[in-house]
Chain A
Amino acid sequence: MAQIRLTLDPWPAEYESSFEIDGFDEEDHGKVDTDVEGVAWQAIEPPKQERTGVLYFIDGVRRVEARVIVEDGSGRIIRGLYGSAAVGAVRVESKMASFEEIRVKRLIVAGTGIRPEAELLTVGNTQLPFEPISVADTTPLGPIQGLQNLMRTEEAILGEALASKADCVFADGPLTYFSGVMQTTVGVIKRLIEPYLSALQFELVRRLGTGQRTPLFVITRPKYDRYSWYLRVGQPRVMDHDVAGVLRLEVRSGAGIERARELADLSASCIPSFVGEAFRDPRAPQNLLPIGALENKLRHRLGDSLTIRRAIEARLFEVSLA
């Protein structure tokens, strides 16, 4: 019997694992073409170069301020929530990193297709306008998904707006919400869920050195074709599993193979320099420093949750009395 060896998943246990690939499904292969770049299946290490142009990193955060049950007299159980979402960007140019375009939204989300009324909550000396949105979903998680979708859509809108001003825009997460087929925004995926590669091909991912990427492969999905590549941004420690420190990146295939290769090389040469140490960010090295800082900033801009919750309680109390 083979010797059993345990290796560590370096992310703290309160986060979901960064490595959730549950197997190599050979059937999926038909939709993935690993030969688009026309090179042998081996590690590519583009030469290191000085960052010259403008890079953007985009991220969003969301928070449920309060869950509500909507009563419309029909006896149905309709779930809803008060939520906040913020998206923003970090602009990096030579030796300057700065926050840009921070946008905060307040929402009342209701499920089951119910559209609540807009509300203006008074919190201290500010007025928070809560916009109503409705989701068709009737499940308890429906409103949260609605909030998440809105945040992701806002991220996509911001990314598309910034794409023309930058050499590259890195968005946090897959590009599912980016509507533009020609988009050159690069999605940076920290948590690997689907392998897209065969077990044999995935061996290369395990052996990548820092700053090395796999050749491009194209993932064909209806309305969502994209080029993708794996990139190692940090070397695992001796006790870590061998996929620790690997990101998957993707760009819409509408960008064209040439542009996709440029972006892949750019990502391989520049992203490792944005990697933090574990003491700075528990999800290091995958959670890039600008993204981590942006998340903190955005979360801060959501405001104090307790204060907002108190304002919601006060409003609902008033309404109940009326």
Chain B
Amino acid sequence: MSTEIGKILGTEDAQPLDFWMAVAPDQLVQLDDVVFVTRSLPGGGCVSLYGIVDTMRARHEGAKFDSDVFLSEQGIFPLGHSTVAHVSVTRIEPEIFVPPLPGLAVFRAAGVDRDQALFFDSMRRKFPLGLSRDGELVYGNFEFLDGSRGAHINISGISGVATKTTYATFLLYSLFNSDVFEDDVTNTRAIIFNVKGEDLLFLDQPNSARKPETERDYARLGLTPRPFSSVAIFAPVRKQEEVMLPDTGSRQAGVTAFCWTIEEFCRERYLRFLFAEADDETSHLSAVIANVEAALAREKNVGNYETFDDLVDFICLSVSHWGAAAAGTIAAFERRLRAAAFRVGHLIRGRVSDADKHRIDWKREQVTVVDIHNLHDRAKRFVVGVMLRRMFEDKERMGTAKPLVFVVLDELNKYAPRDGWSPIKEVLLDISERGRSLGVILMGAQQTASEVERRVVGNCAFRVVGRLDMAEASRDEYRFLSTASRARAGILKPGSMIVHQPEIPTSLLVQFPFPSWATRVSEISKKTSKDPFKGF
């Protein structure tokens, strides 16, 4: 039931879109509380103003000097206290923009009132975003994620404390387990790039470090704490080893080593992704790259090359025959190609027995984790670029948006930097702009949104921040945060995020539960733990 917690102040302006309330002395009101006030209109009818507490302050009343506080605490000078809260209005029902009148009772919104305040009542399909500070469910409108009215999620925050990837995986878990996909759930897919550590290699393992309250939090969210049920894990093949073993430290079992064949590399024109550094883009160079790609695609005998280095030698010998270019450009091309080959070469192999087994098949399981954390930046870009392009082309061929594909990619600033151009940035821009209609949903994350291409961030319907650097928080990219939220972004604890979604005019603080899947070896439940050295 909604309960009265205070009254509208008359000592500060009350406006239709924001007002101050005095908090009743016996009531606990905190930031993020959802409140409403109803006023009657002259001539009949009522207007309800719903909002969220975003600033609070307490003061001495009757004190003239700052030092009066000492006298008051010695029992010499009687002073009063006041606690007031500022409310940002989220919704006015019906839409008659009038200020609430001083003296009106303000209620804490619960049940249907809360759903009204946060637009949950008008969300036809919704999924849990997390829990509010007071333990209530916070929903996201799925129509703004699945492409029907909007798509994409962008998450910003300092590495290590902002828990960006954990929140992204929680959102995936919440989406896959909350019936929001309805019948599509079996065919919906997610591709997660594991860019740092090996946290995401255990998504299919239950978390033994789970605390008792985790169970309760999941229950509140309408979820059961379990690991992801359908997971495929791919890791790059080890360098300088003939046997195709995944290059991972903490987990070998159930991890598939991935690589591409030289034939595939040539046929599918992946060459350009070897030149994915932002500074590789000069028109002369890209003309050469395009020429070489075309020539390689025509070449019949590429299957004969044993190693990628052999192919590189062949390319360097032939490049000047495939098209005219200045000697300097050719030299630049060769230099870059050899540098890339050194970093990426082991992922493109001549003779691969059972090549299909080592190709990343993102359609096989619900969630595909592609581990790239051990790779050099160039190789990371190559893998991400190739993967995303292949997936995007697949979706284009399918011609339907449903079932959806989610792509979780951290360090977006590396792949779609604000300045410069690269083939991966092109793919990511494509996903941002056309993914909505093709059913490709990008869940991108980065430390600083200001370093990411504007259009990639701008197309995201959901904007999320974890702990932010204060200097970063004051940038234009975070205008969707209120001043108060911005200040709070600087002190957010791991497990708390501020989420903005299109329908709700103010950003909401949500907390998400401890992962119910393991995020490191030590968290794997004893029962199901497998010997990581079993493969040897």
A residues near B, CB below 8 A? 51, 90, 92-99, 125, 273-274, 276, 279-280, 289-290, 293-294, 296-297
Contacts and interface: CB of A to CB of B under 8 A. Distances in A.
B76 A125 contact: no
Contacts of B74: 95, 273
A104 B72 CA distance: 24
B323 interface: no
Interface centre among A92, A279, A293 (most CB of B within 10 A): A293
A274 B74 CA distance: 10
A302 to B, nearest CB: 15
A92 B76 contact: yes
Given A125-B103, A279-B65, A280-B65, A293 B78 contact: yes
9 contacts: A92-B75, A95-B74, A274-B76, A276-B71, A289-B71, A289-B77, A290-B77, A293-B78, A297-B62
Nearest to A99: B78
Contact of A95 (B62, B73, B103): B73
Contacts of A293: 62, 77-79
Interface in B45-87: 62, 64-65, 68, 71-80
B78 A95 contact: no
A289 B74 CA distance: 12
A97 B72 contact: yes
Contact of A296 (B62, B73, B76): B62
A286 to B, nearest CB: 15
B78 A290 contact: yes
Nearest to A281: B64
Contacts of B103: 125
B78 A97 contact: yes
Contacts of B65: 279-280
A96 B76 CA distance: 8
Nearest to B65: A280
A45 B8 CA distance: 53
Interface of B: 62, 64-65, 68, 71-80, 103
A218 B79 CA distance: 37
Contacts of B79: 97, 293
B78 A294 contact: yes
Contacts of A96: 75
Given A125-B103, A289-B71, A97 B62 contact: no
A95 B73 CA distance: 6
B77 to A, nearest CB: 5
Contact of A280 (B64, B73, B75, B78): B64
A276 to B, nearest CB: 8
A289 B76 contact: yes
A276 B76 CA distance: 9
B506 to A, nearest CB: 31
Contacts of B62: 293, 296-297
B76 A273 contact: yes
Contacts of B77: 97, 276, 289-290, 293
Interface centre among B76, B78, B80 (most CB of A within 10 A): B78
Contact of A93 (B72, B75, B80): B75
A168 to B, nearest CB: 14
B64 A97 contact: no
A51 B75 CA distance: 10
A96 B74 CA distance: 7
A90 B73 contact: no
Contacts of A99: 78, 80
Contacts of A273: 74, 76
A290 B76 contact: yes
A188 B64 CA distance: 24
Instruction: Give 6 nearest A-B pairs by CB, closest first.
Output: A97-B78, A95-B75, A97-B75, A289-B77, A90-B78, A96-B75
Contacts of B75: 51, 92-97
A317 B65 CA distance: 43
Given A96-B75, A97-B78, A293-B62, 19 more contacts: A92-B75, A92-B76, A92-B78, A93-B75, A95-B74, A97-B77, A97-B79, A98-B78, A99-B78, A273-B74, A274-B76, A276-B77, A279-B65, A280-B64, A290-B76, A290-B78, A293-B77, A293-B79, A294-B78
Contacts of A274: 76
Contacts of B64: 280
Contacts of B71: 276, 289
A279 B71 CA distance: 14
Contacts of A90: 78
Nearest to A90: B78
Contacts of A92: 75-76, 78
Contacts of A296: 62
A126 to B, nearest CB: 10
A125 B74 CA distance: 38
Contacts of A93: 75
Contacts of A125: 103
A139 to B, nearest CB: 37
A290 B76 CA distance: 6
Contacts of A95: 73-75
A179 B20 CA distance: 48
Contacts of A294: 78
Contacts of B80: 99
